[in-house]
Amino acid sequence: MQPANALSLAVNNVPLELTQAELFEYVFDDPLLAWSFVLNIALAGLTILAIAYLGRNLTDPRAKMIAISVMLISVVSISSYSGLTSGLTLSIIDMPAGHPAEGVTTAGEDGVLTMWGRYLTWTFSTPFILIALGMLAGSNWTKILTSVAFTIAMCVTGLAAALTTSSLVMRWWWFVISSIFFLVIVYIILVDWSAEAQVTGTQDIFNTLKILTVVGWFGYPILWALGVEGFAVLDVALTSWGYSILDIITKYIVTMLIMFYVIEEPPEITGGSDYGAS
Ligand code: RET
């Protein structure tokens, strides 16, 4: 006989798989988790509107490019959090043997709630943070695109760490690879771009952004390690709030600081009407 619903599938000893609608319900049954997503949708939307308003009189092409770059951070973010809220980019992942959350069940299914959409969408949002920072520091495109390539590599290997179910050692191996890529980015920001910002004359704003970025970005692997993906010290809702708060600092606060600086179109960051023409 054909099983009538997911529950009867479990009864018949076939692994139960939650539908997207059930994941959606699961999120909204936990207001703490739901709010960690919804707040960010609201903040990303407000940030996009604020950038459009603040940037409406920009004339310099280089200043405009920095503004567009920070706008794209929030464009990705609103999509990312919509994916999480709808259940589209959430899964219940069964942890490998030896993992502290091994054998845990979530909403009747074996495994823990994994917000894999976060790691996926960071692949698209973090490059725009680095493009804006690199341009503010007055760096060249070789270094900016190197940092972009490494952040994409960091996020994709972080996604692999979260989704690996075969072996605990392999999960942490992905984490180590991702962390090495992360350190390359930290080096570029702290060493190369800090020196370049001194020469460009943007050291004041760059130093503030550098501290927010480097300190904030270190919070992500720490949360990964403490959350359900790693040592499972923090539960899913707390981990999610942790990421959401870090996102507020590393995206929206950084964006607003950049916008308030850029709208004045200081000579340190402008390119003149010929910028990008050749
Ligand atoms: C992971 C786990 C694997 C090891 C490392 C990580 C670092 C993630 C970072 C994310 C930054 C995200 C931002 C998003 C804004 O949209 C993938 C958590 C090193 C640094 C700034």
Ligand 1, atom nearest to 185 Cα: 20
Q: Which of 69, 71, 182 gets mutated to test ligand 1 (max ligand atoms within 8 A of its CB)?
A: 182
What span, in angstroms and rounded, lies between the C-alpha atoms of 49 and 195? 33
Ligand 1, atom nearest to 229 Cα: 2
For residue 74, the CA-to-ligand 1 centroid distance in Å is: 16
For residue 3, the CA-to-ligand 1 centroid distance in Å is: 41
Ligand 1, atom nearest to 155 Cα: 17
* Residue 128 Cβ < 6 Å to ligand 1: no
pTM score of the predicted model: 0.93
Ligand 1, atom nearest to 119 Cα: 17
Q: Which two tokens stand for residue 218?
A: 């270190």
Going residue by residue through the chain, which has 278 residues, state the pLDDT in tens, using 9 for 90 and above. 444 454 444 455 555 678 999 999 999 999 999 999 999 999 999 999 999 999 999 999 999 999 999 999 999 999 999 999 999 999 999 999 999 999 999 988 899 999 999 999 999 999 999 999 999 999 999 999 999 999 999 999 999 999 999 999 999 999 999 999 999 999 999 999 999 999 999 999 999 999 999 999 999 999 999 999 999 999 999 999 999 999 999 999 999 999 999 999 999 999 998 888 76
State the Cα angle at 119 between 27 and 71, rounded to 5°. Answer: 95
Ligand 1, atom nearest to 121 Cα: 16
Q: Whose CA is nearest to atom 14 of ligand 1?
A: 122
* Residue 132 Cβ < 6 Å to ligand 1: no
* Residue 179 Cβ < 6 Å to ligand 1: yes
Q: Whose CA is nearest to atom 8 of ligand 1?
A: 220
* Residue 182 Cβ < 6 Å to ligand 1: yes
For residue 73, the CA-to-ligand 1 centroid distance in Å is: 14
Q: Which of 47, 122, 234 gets mutated to test ligand 1 (max ligand atoms within 8 A of its CB)?
A: 122
- In angstroms, the Cα distances linking 174 to 103, 167, 178, 230 are 22, 11, 6, 12
